[in-house]
Amino acid sequence: MAGSELATDASSAPDTVKILIAGGFGVGKTTMVGSVSEIAPLRTEEPLTMAGLGVDDLDGIEEKRATTVALDFGRITISRELVLYLFGTPGQQRFWFMWNDLALGALGAVVLVDVRRPRASFAAIDFFERRGIPFVVGVNGFHGEHPYPAEEIKEALAVPEHVRVLLCDARDRESCRDVLIALIDQLIASAVQA
Amino acid sequence: MDVGDTAGRLVRPFTLTRGRTRPSRADFTLISTVTAVDPPPARAARCQPEHTRILRLCAEPVAVAELAARLDLPVSVIVILLCDLLEAGRITVRPPRPVSRIAPDLDLLQKVRDGLGRL
């Protein structure tokens, strides 16, 4: 179909980049998005068949529409020319096929870990590690409490040395901002090294 | 291309796209920004209500994901409608800033960092 070259670019529109907020089900991803976003987190609902298989085959879509996967996201305007989007990845493992699409073109990811059940985020760490997508780990405390030091958790998670592990509170704006900054610092550090 | 369908009150999402399932959607990612062309082209056809709603929302640049959320439609449906508008010359689309793992854009990273620091 013609059209893809018709009218790309709009000089007044800002550049956009994205960071993923990942982790197991219920670790506080949407909370974190909401804490730093300048807008209340937005949600899109995708019919699952569409999200998984593309839109080419819609046979029986009416029957399958009941299953949707929600995607929560927020926005941070960096400047007039640059806007950062934060996407909370769907936590349930059965929705992980979506992560590939989401990860495409992302600067990197924050893997949130619930301090009470770190296992819930093991698979998320695997996902980014295997694909070589840069990430930091944010350890979300329970009511902001942190019984273990970051170093101990880092050891337990067995993440590579260069991956930063930070204690955080997903409800706290500055805490979440610092996790994002740590990710960017890590990206800058590995860019300088390369 | 005919975008002047008058039958199109919102029913089910895929009736909005009149059953089309193979849009040219390469240009539309979740964070591609869409801006209405102002003024609209001289021979602009009448739009479906959903096209009009999109045009209203993207008078200022807005990301595809935001359009979907604000119109409460799946991204996949929004993208099909955006394809119509793009082909009719009613919108422009700006793809996201490309991200390279091999040659990271230090200038971009520094800008993001500075912006986060101001939060």
Please name the residue that has the structure tokens 């439609």.
B73
Q: A181 in a domain, yes or no?
A: yes
Contacts of B18 in chain A (CB under 8 A): none
Residue A138 has φ and ψ, to the nearest 5°, of: -110, 120
**pLDDT tens for residues B1-24?**
444 444 444 455 555 555 555 446
Preferred mutation among A9, A16, A18, A185 to probe B, highest tally of B CBs within 10 A: A16
**pLDDT tens for residues A32-81?**
999 999 999 999 987 765 444 444 344 444 444 446 788 899 999 999 99
Q: Which two tokens stand for residue A158?
A: 């067995």
> CB of B86 within 8 A of CB of A60?
no
> CB of B57 within 8 A of CB of B64?
no
Host domain of residue A157:
15-193
From the list A42, A46, A177, which residue is nearest B116 (CB)?
A177
User: Other CB atoms closer than 10 Å to residue A36's CB: what's the count?
Assistant: 25
Contact A13 B26 (CB under 8 A): no
What is the number of domains present in chain A? 1
Nearest of B78, B4, B1, B22 to residue A6 by alpha carbon? B1
Q: A7 in a domain, yes or no?
A: no
Q: Which two tokens stand for residue A143?
A: 């009511």
Contact A187 B109 (CB under 8 A): yes
C-alpha span between A66 and B90 (Å, rounded): 33
User: Which residue type occupies B15?
Assistant: T
With bands split at pLDDT 50, 70 and 90, how would you rate the model's confidence at A11? low
Average pLDDT of the residues in A124-148: 94
Composition of chain B by helix, strand, coil, percent to 5: 40, 10, 55
From the list B92, B95, B112, which residue is nearest A184 (CB)?
B112
**pLDDT tens for residues B68-96?**
999 999 998 999 999 999 988 999 999 99
Contact A82 B111 (CB under 8 A): yes
C-alpha span between A62 and B97 (Å, rounded): 36
User: Which residue type occupies B78?
Assistant: I
Contacts of A59 in chain B (CB under 8 A): none
Contact residues, A window 70-129, toward B, CB-based 8 Å cutoff: 71, 73, 75-79, 82-85, 87, 102, 104-107
Question: Hey, is the C-beta of A29 within 8 angstroms of any chain B C-beta?
Answer: no
Contact residues, A window 128-187, toward B, CB-based 8 Å cutoff: 132-134, 173-174, 177, 180-181, 184-185, 187
Lowest-pLDDT range of A95-99, B59-63, B104-108 = A95-99
What pLDDT, on a 0 to 100 scale, did the predictor assign at position B15? 58
What ipTM, to 2 d.p.? Answer: 0.84
By CA distance, what is B61's nearest residue in A? A13
Q: CATH number, domain at A134?
A: 3.40.50.300
- Side-chain half-sphere exposure of B20, counting CA atoms within 13 A: 18
Q: A95 in a domain, yes or no?
A: yes
Extended beta strands in A63-134, E state: 68-79, 82-88, 108-114
Mean pLDDT value across chain A:
85
Contact A192 B106 (CB under 8 A): yes
| Domain segments of chain B as ranges | 13-117
C-alpha span between A174 and B87 (Å, rounded): 43
What pLDDT, on a 0 to 100 scale, did the predictor assign at position A48? 65
Q: A107 in a domain, yes or no?
A: yes
Please name the residue that has the structure tokens 């990710």.
A183
User: In the CATH scheme, what is the code of domain B13-117?
Assistant: 1.10.10
